[in-house]
């Protein structure tokens, strides 16, 4: 069997698994979804976090189950210093022990964005170098990964499932059904550290 056929079979298998998981567990509460997924994909699941406004919610749920779960942070080289500081403080708060920082390839930056100004000329090309390729590389070793995406965030996410197939892998969105009230309530009830940029209007 050639590589292309194996990849196609893996993608079909992931799609079938995502549909099955969504039908059986898609309405579960976020904490239960996180626990189920960590157990189901044991050793083959990570979390992707931007350490943005409400990232602490999902990370706190994960920390309550497995503090050694890999947490992938994409350092594009364009983050505010406040976010980088917040990342380190939140990791310490929650006792997470496996932060993995992913960066763009130096060779790609040298070739496509040597002076760091590509985002102003060609945002899509900039994203390809600083986001798309590094993130694909980051999740490559895993069968599944968590995100903090939610349905209320945009029109394109209104029908966002909890479990979705992305190529041969499963993307898990435990907070898909939550809105701002649930997120704020969870942050308050667990006394979670807030990204300082929120106070400056960065939502």
At 201, the pLDDT band (50, 70, 90 cuts) reads confident
pLDDT beyond 70 at 2? yes
* pLDDT for 190: 97
Cβ contacts of 176-184, under 8 Å, gap ≥ 24: 176/149, 176/150, 176/151, 177/27, 177/150, 177/151, 178/30, 178/150, 179/150, 179/152, 180/152, 183/54, 183/57, 183/150
pLDDT of residue 185: 97
What pLDDT, on the 0 to 100 scale, is given for residue 66? 98
CA distances from 34 to 20, 23, 92, 99 (A): 16, 16, 20, 18
Q: What pLDDT is attached to residue 136?
A: 94
Q: How far is CA 68 from CA 96, 119, 150, 201, in A?
A: 6, 35, 25, 32
pLDDT-derived band at 1, boundaries 50, 70, 90: low
Could you report the per-residue pLDDT of 118-169, keeping only the tens digit for each? 999 999 999 999 999 999 999 999 999 999 999 999 999 999 999 999 999 9
Residue 81 confidence (pLDDT)? 92
Q: How confident is the model at residue 172 (pLDDT cuts 50, 70, 90)?
A: very high
| Residue range 189-199: mean pLDDT, rounded | 91
With tokens 């790609």, the residue in question is 108
Whole-Å CA distances, 99 to 43, 49, 73, 118, 155: 15, 10, 7, 28, 31
Cα–Cα distance between 202 and 49 in angstroms, integer?
16
Q: What is the pTM of this model?
A: 0.93
Query: What number is the average pLDDT over the span 109-120?
Result: 93
Q: Which pLDDT value is given to residue 141?
A: 96
Q: What percent of the chain clears pLDDT 90, i.e. is strictly above it?
A: 90
Asked whether residue 34 carries a pLDDT value surpassing 80, the answer given is yes
CA dihedral of residues 6, 7, 10, 12 (deg, nearest 10): -110
pLDDT averaged over every residue in the chain: 95
Q: State how far the Cα of 146 lies from the Cα of 179, in Å rounded to an integer.
A: 18
Please write the tens of the pLDDT for every residue from 45-60: 999 999 998 999 999 9
């Amino acid at each position: 069997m050639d590589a292309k056929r194996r990849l196609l079979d893996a993608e079909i298998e992931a799609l079938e698994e995502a549909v099955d998981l969504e039908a059986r567990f898609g309405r579960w509460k976020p904490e239960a979804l996180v626990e189920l997924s960590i157990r189901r994909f044991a050793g083959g699941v990570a979390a992707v976090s931007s350490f943005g406004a409400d990232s602490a919610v999902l990370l706190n749920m994960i920390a309550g189950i497995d503090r050694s779960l890999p947490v992938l942070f994409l350092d594009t080289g364009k983050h505010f210093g406040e976010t980088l500081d917040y990342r380190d403080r939140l990791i310490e708060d929650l006792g997470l022990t496996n932060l993995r920082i992913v960066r763009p390839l130096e060779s790609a930056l040298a070739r496509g964005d040597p002076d760091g100004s590509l985002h102003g000329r060609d945002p899509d090309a900039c994203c390809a170098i600083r986001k798309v390729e590094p993130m694909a590389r980051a999740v490559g070793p895993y069968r599944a990964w968590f995100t903090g995406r939610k349905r209320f965030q945009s029109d394109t996410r209104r029908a966002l499932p909890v479990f979705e197939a992305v190529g041969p892998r499963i993307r898990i969105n435990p907070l898909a059904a939550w809105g701002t009230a649930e997120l704020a309530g969870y942050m308050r009830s667990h006394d979670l550290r807030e990204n300082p940029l929120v106070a400056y209007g960065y939502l």
